[in-house]
Structure 1
Amino acid sequence: MIKLFLMAGSVFCMLSVVLGAFAAHGLKNRVSEYAIGVFKTAAEYQMVHGLALIAVAILIKWGLNLNAAGWFFIAGTLLFSGSLYLLAMTGWKWLGPITPLGGLCFIVGWLIILVQVARFKF
């Protein structure tokens, strides 16, 4: 899992930079300011949780049981950021209910980290 989480985190962070730049420069005349804001929010959360995946991999190496947190961060990024990217680009309102599921995955991932760190003997 360590290598997978490090690689996924790196890919998420890299794509966050690419997509954030695309939002700032490539979307300017194509979508509304609101849609650009939605797109930038997706990139921001993707970056944060890409870095969180890298941290999870390091903490697993230290001996913490955080595999589930890593998977929740991956699912959260795909659901939360993915639905926001699509919503911004297509305007498909039916994607709206998917976004909170991704947010819930993020919350669960952070809760798992909290519980496992509290239990861990340093």
Structure 2
Amino acid sequence: MRDREMKTITIFGAVLGLTSVIMGAASDHLFFGFITEENSERLDVALRYHQLYAILIFCLGICGLHTQHLLVLKRAGYIFCAGTVLFCTSLYISLFPGLDKATYLTPLGGITLMFGWILSFLTIKRSL
């Protein structure tokens, strides 16, 4: 059970990493010239968080295979996954004409990511 769930988080991190590279390439090659300056800033933020949290979630999954504090770490991993999807996807969706209201979900994703950091902090604090 322990290995399967942490492997799932690790795989999710790897998939996020892959999709961040795909989105980065698409933004440079497919969307070039079609995106407004405001949308370009949104895209840059989404890509930055997408790539950062792909690495974090991947590493968290690997660390989860070798820790005693699995439950809290597993919860933090799932929360980071949900927060990353909410935050980045809402920004990506907002790039399409008429869908800019999707950014209303972005703060919810950000708050979810903050909660993941709090759980990570508590995990480290307990282990000291």
TM-score, with structure 1 as normaliser: 0.91
SS at 1:30 equivalent: coil
Matches within 5 A, 1:32-111: 32-63=36-67, 64-65=69-70, 66-111=73-118
1:18 is the counterpart of 2:25: no
- Aligned AA (1:99): T
Please tell me whether the aligned partners of residues 78 and 102 of structure 1 are also in contact (alpha carbons under 8 angstroms): yes
Out of 79-88 and 59-68, give the one that drifted further. Answer: 59-68
Counterpart of 1:90 in 2: which secondary structure?
coil
Check the 8 A contact 2:7/2:62 in 1, yes or no: no
- Paired residues of 1:72 and 1:108 also in contact (CA < 8 A): yes
Q: Which stretches of structure 1, 4 residues or more, deviate above 6 A after TM superposition?
A: none
How many pairs are equivalent? 121
Q: Unaligned stretches of 5+ in structure 1?
A: none
- TM-score norm. by structure 2 comes to 0.87
Q: Of the candidates 9, 12, 26, which is equivalent to residue 8 of structure 1?
A: 12
Gaps of 5+ in 2: none
Deviation, structure 1 residue 45 = 0.5
